[in-house]
Structure 1
């Protein structure tokens, strides 16, 4: 059998493998430094051969020449002596002529604002122990995030029509790499970034973990809205408190032709109403609102960069959905009763059962985003705050819904998830006592799905929601109606 090839003469299967491996590394965050992301483990995770994974890592990193075949695959996430791609700036003597010695650089800034991506580096004395393996893995993860962003497909309909708000590079700055959709030369940008990463200090500080965590959270949205600076990084929390959209993500310029969606990431698209629901939950959580407190459409509109009329219209829809109350001419934080909790979780229970049965019939590769989401739950359990586990758990559940292939059911499940998030914010749930159980339940559900055992997955799901509804109802103003829950959850 003759293998299909691309126009460049490479097997198409390798291009697909590159995309899969890039998605895994791009969503790993700081955990890419752990043994869980060796090429052997990535091969086990994706079902690809280790040779394909190894070659994919090398190609993504652009730090070693492509190997046509090897009976002894090495781990290119951990190369010993990577070949440095030629950077046009270096050909002109850019770095050495300016007195910057090799391996003294660190990533200083990463900004993604259509139509530009800017990666800036800074020269500084090397500090800390040399950890070349970890440093190289982190560099590969950064390159993977850029690869998975699909920015190479960005198009500007009218040159000069859109401003990114990112300061343009001045002259031939030897410590910056810039991509601009107005003058597309994606390969040069990637080669330049790879070359500068090769000159970074062989320490973990060169590519900080909080930068990788931020890129991991933004990976499924093409990195849009990423704005990371080294001097401000310590002020950020490791985990995204919302697992949702920030002010810069609510809308892209009308001039942007969206790039093809990466099929290895979640395909869910959020409506304006859903975006506002996420912003409301953030507002309730961060501002200490309680049931009955008034919410201002003007404040939300300013933060989301939307018109007041659009925000009011969306908030009115949220009232219809029970996510907000409307009283005496104003929008207010809703009260949550025990009956509300039982109602919501009964709906999620039965819709989830349908989705899990569909998941069990899907090929294993469709579960890749789910496996990555489970890794985020496990990381949150050991490294995150008390709310992180609950939020990453909801993301895990949504990835299962997306992997089912049932688009309408997945959308319905997502709408219910928005309500769960609102309930969590209003009730100020503390998931810390349930962390071990949540992780155990999620592992059991995924194992059953991967084994094609739909009924085992449904049993684990039923037990998981039974525990969750009792935990949430215990904090609701009304007592938990166990008999009602028993009737609805049959």
Structure 2
């Protein structure tokens, strides 16, 4: 998040952060008409004037609010650069540009929107708050050779000067989509809410056909912050996960991949080895999962604890979903009374669900759907209810793993239901959103109960949810 500039209206600060969040998560689509200032204003509920001013501030931070003059054809040096390398290796961010020998078709408007999206990704990264790393940090040392085609930042340097240097180099790029390829924007969009840590993109990947480099294991699970939304990313979907959540997701994947069944024993040492974590960290997280009822623990001492996968009955499923139904009803009615910009993270999370449905796995779709639901809970402004809903979501994740739930047949329905729920909330129709939510959970509980080892008690479900 940017530091506050003296004299700038507080409402503009908020608008800047909201618009940056939209653009940072847009990906290659940012060049299209759906991300014009008018459409962003409609999306966020901000005025088009605020949005236009925010776009200019993000693209050229620290400059006047007057429209920035773009490089012209009379400035050939401004036409000849491309971004060649973008990497974030804590505690350093490096952007390396190079000269371009190609004759790509000009697309100035699309390029400018792509350049603004790149600046927005840096804007929301939270890197400005990084502190100096420990002395034994293995981070690559800064380049010994200064370069007029490189922008580099690390803690202690001036963040505003770094952003201004990146903006100036972008001004010198050829005004084409090739100067900022879609693969880079797609990668930045996927990582925007996670501080960009571990991102490494090189231009050679475009021509080689290989995927951009991304080291998802750069951070150990224990280093993830608590599940509260980072203040620097409050307009982004909540991507930060606690160690317990990270382990719960990892355990779920292992249970699915290894064919674990209810009652099977889980060995902390084995998971520590597979996840590359200290055994004590895994054991602590597994005890937390057991305390939450997500694992079964039996022990005679801390060092001799054993954990097993819980058995899930049809009554357990009905109990869980009835609780989620009623808490969700409260949250949706509160959401419907919120201003539109408060729902921005939920709208962006829905976009992630749509992307997962088109390109991801069944596990990706299920996780994206749960994240969308949690974003609605966060947008309600009801902290206690949102936390209760979050705890119930952890249990849903484990039930999905235990019952080996397959979302593939339900993808289209999930998308349709979530789109309609969000539309109702945005239009202030709380009761309509509740009706849709009730139908969504009715389908979910029946699908999950069908996989439980006993028949679905329809009468019990009806009594609890009428």
What is the TM-score when the length of structure 1 is the normalising length? 0.79
Q: Which moved more, 1:207-216 or 1:48-57?
A: 207-216
Show the counterpart of 1:319. Answer: 290
Deviation at 1:383, TM superposition (A): 4.2
Distance (whole Å) between structure 2 residues aligned to residue 364 and residue 68 of structure 1: 27
Distance (whole Å) between structure 1 residues aligned to residue 12 and residue 230 of structure 2: 21
* 2:80 paired residue among 97, 103, 111: 103
Distance (whole Å) between structure 2 residues aligned to residue 253 and residue 319 of structure 1: 20
Show the counterpart of 1:272. Answer: 243
Q: Which moved more, 1:230-239 or 1:450-459?
A: 230-239
What are the ranges of 5 or more consecutive residues in structure 1 without an aligned counterpart? 1-5, 70-75, 85-94
| Pairing of 1:133-152 with structure 2 (within 5 A) | 133-152=109-128
Q: Secondary structure at the match of 2:232?
A: coil
Deviations 1:303-348 (A, max 9, x none): 6664322311221232343423457964344454433322221221
| Pairing of 1:232-311 with structure 2 (within 5 A) | 248=219, 250-252=221-223, 260-266=231-237, 270-285=241-256, 287-291=257-261, 294-301=265-272, 306-311=277-282
Show the counterpart of 2:340. Answer: 364
On the 8 A contact 1:213/1:238 being kept in 2, the answer is no
Show the counterpart of 1:46. Answer: 44
Deviations 1:57-84 (A, max 9, x none): 1221229964548xxxxxx9xxxx7249
Deviation at 1:103, TM superposition (A): 3.3
* 2:355 paired residue among 379, 382, 385: 379
Deviation at 1:465, TM superposition (A): 0.6
Deviation at 1:155, TM superposition (A): 3.6
Deviation at 1:169, TM superposition (A): 1.9
State whether structure 2 residue 415 is matched by structure 1 residue 439. Answer: yes
* 2:92 paired residue among 106, 116, 135: 116
Deviation at 1:443, TM superposition (A): 2.2
Deviation at 1:370, TM superposition (A): 1.5
Deviation at 1:415, TM superposition (A): 2.0
Show the counterpart of 2:140. Answer: 166
> What is the aligned length?
449
What are the ranges of 5 or more consecutive residues in structure 2 without an aligned counterpart? 300-304
Distance (whole Å) between structure 1 residues aligned to residue 95 and residue 433 of structure 2: 44
* 2:396 paired residue among 420, 423, 426: 420
Deviation at 1:272, TM superposition (A): 2.7
On the 8 A contact 1:295/1:330 being kept in 2, the answer is yes
Deviations 1:171-190 (A, max 9, x none): 11344321111x32112211
On the 8 A contact 1:63/1:82 being kept in 2, the answer is no
Show the counterpart of 1:82. Answer: 70
Deviation at 1:32, TM superposition (A): 2.2
Deviation at 1:369, TM superposition (A): 1.3
On the 8 A contact 2:82/2:179 being kept in 1, the answer is yes
Deviation at 1:462, TM superposition (A): 0.5
What is the TM-score when the length of structure 2 is the normalising length? 0.82
On the 8 A contact 1:26/1:141 being kept in 2, the answer is yes
Distance (whole Å) between structure 2 residues aligned to residue 405 and residue 276 of structure 1: 28
Q: Secondary structure at the match of 1:261?
A: helix
Show the counterpart of 1:32. Answer: 30
Deviations 1:271-302 (A, max 9, x none): 432232122224334x3433155544235435
Distance (whole Å) between structure 1 residues aligned to residue 220 and residue 30 of structure 2: 25
Distance (whole Å) between structure 1 residues aligned to residue 102 and residue 396 of structure 2: 47
On the 8 A contact 2:201/2:212 being kept in 1, the answer is no
Distance (whole Å) between structure 2 residues aligned to residue 21 and residue 146 of structure 1: 13
Q: Secondary structure at the match of 2:152?
A: strand
Deviations 1:105-158 (A, max 9, x none): 234232142x322223455653865544333322211110101123223344xx
RMSD between aligned residues: 3.7
On the 8 A contact 1:353/1:461 being kept in 2, the answer is yes
* 1:177 paired residue among 135, 141, 151: 151
Deviation at 1:45, TM superposition (A): 0.9
Distance 1:161 1:428, change over 3 A: same
Distance (whole Å) between structure 2 residues aligned to residue 239 and residue 46 of structure 1: 31
